Chains A and B, each alone.
Chain A
Amino acid sequence: MGFIRKLFLSFFFLIVIQSAYAQNEEEVTKQWVYDENERTYNWVPTLLKSNKNILSSISQFNGYVFNWVPRGQSYDNSAIIDGINWASNLNGWNASFSYTGMYKIFHQKESDENLAYSSEGYGKNYRTSYLTTNSNLFKRGWVLHTGFSNASYMNEGHIQYSAAGNRNEWSLHSFLVFQNTPNGMSPSGFKKIKGAAFSIDKIFTNNQSIGLTLWWNQTSQGKQAPSVLEAYTLSHQRNYNPSWGWLDGQAYYPNSKYTNVPVLSIRYEKNWSDKAAIQINLGLAIGEQGTSQLDWTSSADPRPDYYRYLPSYSKDSSMRIQLNKWFEANPQALQIDFDRIQKINKASISKRSFYIINKNISNIISARASAIYKFQLNNYWSTNAGMQIAKDKINYFNVVDHLLGGHFFYNYNGWVIDDGLVNSFQNNIQSPDQKIKEGERWGPNFELQSMQATSWLQVKNTSPRWEFSTGFNYATDLFQRNGLNQNGLFLNNSLGRSSLLYFPSLGYKGEVLYKFSGRIYARSIFFNQQYAPNAATVFLDPSLHGFQTPFLLPLLKNGIDLSLYFRGVDTKIMLSAYYQKVKNESEKRFFYHDKYNSFVYGVVGQKESVYQGVESSVETLLFNLLQLELSINIGKYFISNNPLYEILLANDIYKVESGLLRLKNLPATTSPEITEAVSIQMQPTYTTRVSVTGIYAAKRAISYDYYRRSALVLDPLSAQKLYASLHEAHYLPSQFVLNASFSKSFNLKYGNQKIPIYSNFSFKNLLGTLIPVLVFEQSRFDYINLNPNKYPLKYLYDLGVTYAVGIQLQIQ
C-alpha cells in the first residue's frame, strides 16, 4: 500500500513538474487571457456549498456573464483580508490581482465588523477573507490539487499545508500555486502564475495571539481586446481578438497585465473573556503592477480592426466586395502583422522605432494600520468600533519593453496636436529629443500619494422581538501629485508637488429587524453615505499636470429597503423592495474629438441615478433529494437628471464646450434589469453532487458614451431619426445561459487512514449562447456629419462552452 501511495504521489508531482516545465518553456512566448475567466473555475465549488445569500452567489458565479449585479450597482471592491482593507484610492494598485489564482487559500465569512456598505445592504462584506489560522476555517494536513480548464488556464497545480497548534504553539498555513496557459490555447491568450502564501499564528495562554501573513504572487496574463461586429463577422470567431499577431512565424501577444507585489501583515489580538476583544493589524505591500501593449507614434495605426481598414469604410461597393473576399481568404490580415512592423522599424534610416511594446508600470508602496474593538455590554447591547489608516504612494511611468527591431524610441508625447511649437511634444523638456533604449523609462513620470484615515462606531441592540443597529463613520482623504519630469506642454504645472487636497466624508446607517416568529421576520435598512473621490477623479490628467477636475463634489449614496424573510427547516424565502439614489457622480474621459480635431478631456459632473426594484428568492429541498433555488428580480436603474459637462482641449485645457447632457432616463448601469435564475442541486449519493443553473437576463443596457448626447448635439436633432437612436435607451437581446457541474469524492484507504480524493467537472454556457459580456459605444463619434455608424459599437463575447476539470487529494 505504501508503494501505491508513493506511486500516485510521484505521479501527481510529475504532473505538477511537467506543467511547471511547460510554463518555463513558454517564458519566451507571449500569450493571452481574458481577465474574467478567473472566475470560471472558482464558480464550481461555491455552487456546491450552502448559500446564505442565493442572489449574491448565483449572480457572482453564474450571472457575471450578463454583468448581473444585484440592485444594479457595482460591487464594493474592497479586499479585506485578516482585518486589513487593501483597497486603494489610487489607480494602479489592485489588491485582489496580487493574489489572483490563490483564491482557494482564503476563506470568507460574513462579518459586520466593517462599516463599508455594499449594494446588497448592511454588513455584507462578502469579501472579508481570512488567511490567518486563527479563523479556525482550515483543515489540518496536506491538500494537493491539479486542474485543467479550457477557459482561464490550461493546467494548474497547488499544494496546501496546514498545521494547527495548541495554545503556546505555532499554527501554520501555507500554499503554493502555479497556473499556465500555453501560447494561443485560450482566446484570451497566455497566463502564468507562480504564487505562495504563508500564515503563522500563536495563541498564548493569556488570551493573546499574534500572527503573520505573507503572500507573493508573480502573475502575467494576457488581456483580450473588444472589437466591432464587422471584424467578428469577417473572422468567423466569437472570440476574435484584434490585439495579437504574428512575429517570426509565432503568435505574439503584446497586451498583458502583471503583478509582482509581496504583501505582508502582522496582527495582535487580545480577548477579555467573551465580553471584549481588540485586534490590531499592520500591513505593508511593496512591488509592481502594470500592463503592456503595442504603442506607436508618427505611424499608421497597426490595429487590424481599425475602422479605415474594414470593408465598411469603403464607399465603393465593388471595393467592399474585394475587401470582404480578401479578409475571407487571408484571416491573418485580421491580426497584427508584427513582421511588417519590425521591418518598418529596422528600415528607418536613424533606426528609430515607430512601434514599440510599452509597459505602463505602477511602483507601489502601500501601508495599512487598523484596529477593531468589540465590546458586549450585556445580553442586549453590543458595540464595535474601529479605525484604519491607509497610506499609498505609487510612482507611475512607462518602460520600453521591446523596440521591435529599432534601436531607440523618441520620448515624445504621441497625442499632442502639432501647434508648431517644437517643445510641446517633449515628454521631458529637460532632456529634449531623448532617445529611449529597451528597458529605459519614458513618457510621464509622476507620483500620486493618498492618505486615508477612517473611523467607525456601530451599536446593536438585540431583544426577543426587535433588533436595532446603527453605525457612523468619518473619513478624511488626502491626495497629492508629484510630477517627476517637466513636459513641454505644461512647463509650469508638470514638475513638482501639487498642493495637498483634503476631502472629508461621513456616513450613517441603520437597521431595524422585527421577528414575527422564529421563522418569519422583517428587516429594513436605511443609509446615507458620502464618499471621497479617488485620485484618478481628483486630477484631470495627473500624468501631465496637477490641474483639478471640474465638478468635484462628494459622491452621495442613500437608500432604504424593506425585506421579508421566511426561514423554514427545508425552505427559505426572501422578498425585498429597495430604493437607492446616487448623487454627484462624475466621469472623465480622454478621447479624440472630430469636431475640434484634437484630443480632449470630457468631464461629466453632478450626475444622479436611481436604482429601485424588487428581489425575491426561494430555496427549498424537494423529495429529500433535490435542492432547488429560485430567484426573480425586477429593477429599474436610470439616470435621473441631465448632468453638467465640459469639453476641454487636451493641449491647453481650454474649455470649448459646456452645458447639459441629455441623459435623463438613460440606463444607469449595464446590469440586467430583469433576471430569473434557477439552480438545481442533486446529491444522489453521499459522494456525488450534480448541479445545473440557468439564468435568464433581460433589459441589458449597453455602456453609453455620454458626450454625444449633449444638448448642443441633440437639441437641433429633435425632429430627426438620429435623435431617437441617441436619446432613447436600447437594450441587448434577452438571453439564457445554462451551466452545470458534477463532483465526486472517493476515499482511498491507507492502513486505518482514509485519504479523500475530490474531483469535479464543470461546464459553462452549455448551450453555447452567443453572449456579449461587454458592449459599449466608442468614445470617438462623428461630431461633424453625425453618422452614428462611423465608429460603431464594440463587443466582447463570452467564450462559449467551456469546461474545467479538477482533482484534489487531501492527506490529514
Chain B
Amino acid sequence: MKIKTSLSIFISSIALVVLFFSAACLKQTAYAQPVSGNDTDSVISIKAFRKLHTIGNVESIAKSMVLEGTIVANDEHDNLYKSISIQDTSGGIIISLDGSSLYQTYPVGTTIRIHLQNLFLTDYRRMLQVVASVDTSSGQLVTTGIPASLLSKYIKVVKENTNVIPLLVSYKNLADSLQGRLIKISNVEFAAADTNLTYADKKNKIGASRSLKFCTGGTIYLRTSGYADFAGISIPKNNGDIVGVYSVYNYEKQLLIRDTSDILFRANRCTGAAWLKNLPN
C-alpha cells in the first residue's frame, strides 16, 4: 500500500509537470494585430487643399479628409530634413514628418494617402506645409511634423514605384501654385561668380543659395542644405536642364534638387544676347 501511495504521488507529480509542458507548448504571447485606419475619408486634391490656407495663418484640420499624392522628394540625400514632398495632378505640398531616414519607408515614386484630420496647414516663409503641431508660446511659430510613432496612423502606402515625370516650366510660369511639385527648367546655368563654389558649406553645415540663370533671362536660386551629402561638391559650370522641387522663401523662387543627378548640364554656357541679359548691373 505504501509503495502504491509513493508511486501514485510520484506519477501525479510527473503528470503535473507534463501538464505544464503541454501548456508551455500551446501558449503563445499574442498581441492584437494593428487595426488599419478606415479609408472612407473624402479625398481632396492638393490644389483644393492649398486653397484652404491663408498665408501667415494656421489652419487646424478638423474635418476627416485624405490627401493622396506621389512622393517626389525625400531626405535620401539629406537636402530635405524631416519632410517629404508629394504631388498629384493638381499641385504639390510639403509634409513635415518628425523622423529620420524617411526615404527608406517613403521612397520617391510611392503614392501615399495622408489622413489630415487633427493636422495643421501652415506655411514657412510662404512655403505651404502640413504639420502635426504648432507652438506659438515663444512668440514665433514653431511647428513639428507627424511623430515617427504615428506615421503608420496618418500615412498609408497606396502604390509603389509610380513613375514621376517632372513638369517642364519656363521662368515666366514659375508661380506659387507649383510649390512642392517636381519641375524641370531648361537652358540654365550657374552664375559665373558661383561656379567656383560648392553647393553649400559642408564643413560648417551651413546651407547656401546659388544663382541659376536662365539664358532667356531670369534667376531662380538653387537652395542646398549644409547637411546634404552633396553639399561639398563643386557646382557644375556648364549649361543645361535641372530637375527639382519648386520652393519659395518669401518671394524668392527656389529649387531643391534631390541629388546631383537632377542636374543635366552638358551644353556650353550661354552666349550673345541671352548671356548679356544675365550680366550684373
Contact = CB atoms under 8 A, between A and B. Distances in A.
Interface in B93-118: 98-102, 104-105, 107, 118
B104 A347 contact: yes
Given A148-B20, A344-B104, A748-B6, A314 B133 contact: yes
Contacts of A301: 100
A309 B16 contact: no
A756 B150 CA distance: 61
B11 interface: yes
B35 interface: yes
Contacts of A567: none
B251 interface: no
Interface stretch (A99-107, A317-325, A482-490, A716-724): A317-325
Contact of B21 (A11, A148, A299): A148
A83 to B, nearest CB: 38
Contacts of A313: 147
B28 A759 contact: no
A319 B133 contact: yes
Contacts of A18: 18, 21
Contact of B28 (A184, A310, A314): A184
Contact of A354 (B20, B25, B101, B232): B101
A314 B104 contact: no
A331 interface: yes
A463 interface: no
A748 B99 contact: no
Interface string A14-28: 010011001000000
B148 A300 contact: yes
A463 to B, nearest CB: 53
A8 B29 contact: no
Interface residues of B, number: 46
A807 interface: yes
A154 interface: yes
A285 B133 CA distance: 60
Contact of B13 (A4, A327, A759): A759
A251 B98 contact: no
A314 B101 contact: no
A32 to B, nearest CB: 10
Contacts of A299: 100-101, 104
A747 interface: yes
A749 interface: yes
Contacts of B277: none
Interface in A322-342: 322-323, 326-327, 329-333, 335, 340
Interface in B1-19: 2-3, 6-7, 9-11, 13-14, 16-18
B132 A805 contact: no
Given A11-B14, A148-B21, A309-B149, A300 B100 contact: yes
Given A299-B101, A331-B32, A746 B25 contact: no
B24 interface: yes
B14 A331 contact: no
Contacts of B203: 420
Given A308-B98, A327-B149, A314 B9 contact: no
A296 to B, nearest CB: 9
A146 interface: yes
A807 B17 contact: yes
A322 B118 contact: yes
Interface string A111-153: 0000000000000000000000000000000000011100000
Given A8-B10, A22-B25, A747-B6, A333 B149 contact: yes
Interface string B124-168: 000000001111000000001001111001000000000000000
26 contacts: A8-B10, A12-B14, A15-B17, A22-B21, A146-B14, A148-B21, A184-B28, A185-B29, A298-B101, A299-B100, A300-B101, A300-B148, A308-B148, A310-B149, A314-B133, A315-B144, A316-B133, A316-B135, A319-B144, A319-B147, A323-B147, A331-B31, A332-B33, A746-B10, A748-B6, A805-B16
Q: Which 4 A-B pairs have the closest CB atoms?
A: A316-B133, A184-B29, A344-B104, A300-B101
Interface of B: 2-3, 6-7, 9-11, 13-14, 16-18, 20-21, 24-25, 27-29, 31-35, 98-102, 104-105, 107, 118, 132-135, 144, 147-150, 153, 202-203, 232
Interface of A: 4, 8, 11-12, 15, 18-19, 22, 146-148, 154-155, 182-185, 246, 251, 298-301, 308-310, 313-316, 318-319, 322-323, 326-327, 329-333, 335, 340, 344, 347-348, 354, 420, 746-749, 757, 759, 805, 807
